[in-house]
Amino acid sequence: MNRHPLLRAYLAGIAIPTVVLLVVMTGYTIIRYVYNIPVPIERVIVFPMAAVPNAWGLWNLLYVAFLEKRHVSLGLFGGVLPLLLAPGGYVVTRLLGFTVPDAVFHVAPFALPIGLVVYYLVWKYFVGFLNAELGIA
């Protein structure tokens, strides 16, 4: 199964955030339209729905193409990704004129390290598992 290893790396990378975003959007839809709780994030939800799975896929593709043979840790490489996604998400909210609540800025110093650890673990165990299953690790 050595055909198209970079395509398989991309697909292994997008699998997990796609499933997670599907669950998140289902919950959001139920909260917003069934229980009529006003959470108007429709303008900014496009960024995570479009950019995050593609970023994960491209990040895994870069790892497989350039760093796997150099024995770089997949978990550490994946753990760096939030440091690119978080500023990108912030820029999108500013460009769209979406008001970010002050509580987000107060929680961010605590949430970012937790996010880094979560990304590390997800990349090490889940993406690593998918890479192994697809024969690219």
Place of tokens 């769209």: 96
Q: What is the token pair recorded at 78?
A: 């994946």
Q: How confident is the model at residue 1 (pLDDT cuts 50, 70, 90)?
A: low
Q: Up-side HSE of residue 136: CA atoms within 13 Å toward CB?
A: 26
Number of H helices, E strands in the chain: 6, 0
Place of tokens 């889940």: 126
Q: Is residue 35 classed as helix, strand or coil in its secondary structure?
A: coil
Q: How confident is the model at residue 6 (pLDDT cuts 50, 70, 90)?
A: very high
Which pLDDT tens digit goes with each residue over 41-99?
A: 776 787 788 899 999 999 999 999 998 888 899 999 999 999 999 998 888 888 888 88
CB 91 within 8 A of CB 116: no
Which pLDDT tens digit goes with each residue over 30-46?
A: 988 899 888 777 767 87
Rounded Cα–Cα distance for residues 94 and 33 (Å): 26
pLDDT at 63: 95
CB 7 within 8 A of CB 65: no
CB 17 within 8 A of CB 127: no
Across the range 1-27, mean pLDDT stands at 90
Nearest to 89 by CA among 50, 117, 38: 50
